[in-house]
Amino acid sequence: MHTFLSVMVAVGSIGVFMAGFSQVAGASMRIIGPWFRSRAAQTDTTKRRRLLLGTAAGAGGSAVSAVVSLLSMVDSGTVRAERTVWILLGVNIGATAACWLVALAGYRMTLAPMALILMACSLPFRLSATLGRYTRPDVLTGLALLMLGIDLVSARLAVVPDAPALLEAMQRLFSSGAAPVAGFVLGFLVSTLIRSSVGTVVLAMSLLTRGWLPFNVAVAMTLGSNGGLALTGLLAGEGLDTEARRTVVIHLLINVLACIWAAAAFTVLVDVTAALIRGSDASATAARLALFHSAIHIINPLLLLPLQHVVMRLAQQLVPARDRRADAEDDFSLVLLPPSYPDALDANLIRLQSGLARMAELAYEMLMIVINTSQFGDYAEQETRRVISLRSSVKKLEDEIASALTGSVQLPCSRRQAERIQQQHRTAQQLSLISDDCYKTMRLFARSYRKNYRFHQESRDELFDFTSLILDFLKYNSDYLEGKIEPPNWELANRMEDAIDKVRDTLKIRVGKVLQNDNEVDIQAELAFIDIVSHLEHVGDRCLSISDSVRKLNFQRRGRANSGEY
């Protein structure tokens, strides 16, 4: 029974540490995430700058958070896969910072009193009714749990004494020559399970300092954590676009390379770390493990420098290019990450913008059918069925996006994230309404051609010019949502709306004059013409509403949103 309690306490200690680390990393990524994404999107940065950017993201948040955030950017087309190599290398380096913090601070001082003080300080924020409550208490309670977890992991805060039988069993289990292999497999499995290389290394530190593992096995466990981290990224990229899946393969190849050469130089690395950090106390022992972990990821970029193009070509061969939208409009797949993934909220919001871009593409295609039907009505009935099919696809995407946004708003989020959720929901609604307007317009055209309505002589050219203006407006919004233009031009959007309104007024005046002056006018046809113009005008109005949301989304993307800018 004592042995069982010792095992469960050790596992629970890592659980407390990981709960705190996840909260701190999540809150940190909500703060530094916009900065990281804006810098990663820049196309003129050098390899050194991208390496430093990844290092800052890995140290400021977590490796998985940074990788997930980068994946979402690649999937949305903001970053190319070949530019992620050095960012990913930097992320691996930055992730080792937390291991050093545990080794140098956690094993030298008792942190539990400070943890309880931080927990007390977080209580007033929990009573706040503002969105800011999510970041501040998350940081405070996360730090408290992190410190408490470090004390539990390092056994400075002993809950249950270690069982002698367990210590003896662990020593026998890892006494063979194949013990490092078993340690590597253990590190790989634990890192995959908890989705954190830091948590795995901290667990290895705990088992090492308690005497449950020999040093070489703890080092092998640390090495195995890199494979588990890469597998986590591979799972996160499943179902994403070609470039995103290439990115996770690049990350996998980077970590596999690190594991291969570190395994080949295993004995040398162990001896060097032991020589550089001497001492037999728990802090020195843990620091040696942190040094080994850092050395792998600091040396890896140097080894990868001449192999970067080889890695890219291999990733391209493993993930061949394909156009998933070439065959059918329904081929678009809105793949979202589970909320349990670090930084899943921001990653999913970027992915949802890709869904909005797809809705805009479908709406644009519907409006193209409308403008073609206004000129050639021979296939109006057939084209109406096509519009109905496209409208169904738009509605399906709207339901998926609305469901995802409803779930997202229930998660802890910052004010910036909440505003982005609101604007994306608004955009999805407006795009859905545009599909309704296109459908209603097509129904009117189909009925007009079926009943042989006779519009006034200039109607065909007028509808073409009017619809062309609206097409341009919709294309402008679609291009932004797809990331083809940035930043959006609010003044241009207003000018486009004013031009649409001016033409609308001209068309209605023209119809009024025709009804007054032409005794042979087809009244039903002219009334249908007015209805067509009205539905198309609604599309223009909705485009202006989307432009307003696009403007606000742009401020959110750059992390500069405030009430004055709106």
- The CA dihedral of 46, 47, 50, 52, to the nearest 10 degrees, is -110
Q: Tens digits of per-residue pLDDT, 422-433?
A: 899 999 999 999
Is the pLDDT at 72 greater than 90, yes or no?
A: no
Is the pLDDT at 81 greater than 70, yes or no?
A: yes
Query: What is the pLDDT at residue 360?
Result: 93
Nearest CA to 17 among 210, 209, 224, 155? 155
Query: What is the pLDDT at residue 106?
Result: 78
Query: What is the pLDDT at residue 130?
Result: 52
Q: Tens digits of per-residue pLDDT, 335-356?
A: 787 776 767 787 788 888 888 9
Percentage of residues of the chain with pLDDT beyond 70: 87
Domains annotated for the chain, with CATH where assigned, are 2-124+131-162+177-318 (no CATH), 329-558 (1.20.58.220)
3-state secondary structure 448-473: HHHCCCCCCCCHHHHHHHHHHHHHHH
Least confident of 38-42, 182-186, 314-318, 487-491: 487-491
Q: Between these two residues, 341 and 480, which has the higher pLDDT value?
A: 480
Query: What is the pLDDT at residue 326?
Result: 43
Cut 0.75: pTM above it: no
Q: Which residues contact 215 (CB under 8 A, 6 or more apart)?
A: 208, 270, 274, 285, 288, 289
Confidence of residue 161 (pLDDT cuts 50, 70, 90): low
3-state helix, strand, coil in the chain (%, to 5): 80, 0, 20
Q: Tens digits of per-residue pLDDT, 208-236?
A: 887 778 888 899 999 998 887 777 777 77
Q: Between these two residues, 466 and 410, which has the higher pLDDT value?
A: 466
- Residue 480 near residue 495, CB atoms below 8 Å: no
Q: Which residues contact 119 (CB under 8 A, 6 or more apart)?
A: 140, 141, 144
Q: Tens digits of per-residue pLDDT, 367-386?
A: 999 998 888 877 788 889 99
Confidence of residue 562 (pLDDT cuts 50, 70, 90): very low
Backbone angles phi, psi at 124, to 5 degrees: -60, -35
Is the pLDDT at 564 greater than 70, yes or no?
A: no
Is the pLDDT at 172 greater than 50, yes or no?
A: yes
Is the pLDDT at 515 greater than 80, yes or no?
A: no
Distance CA 183, CA 262 (A): 14
Distance CA 185, CA 222 (A): 10
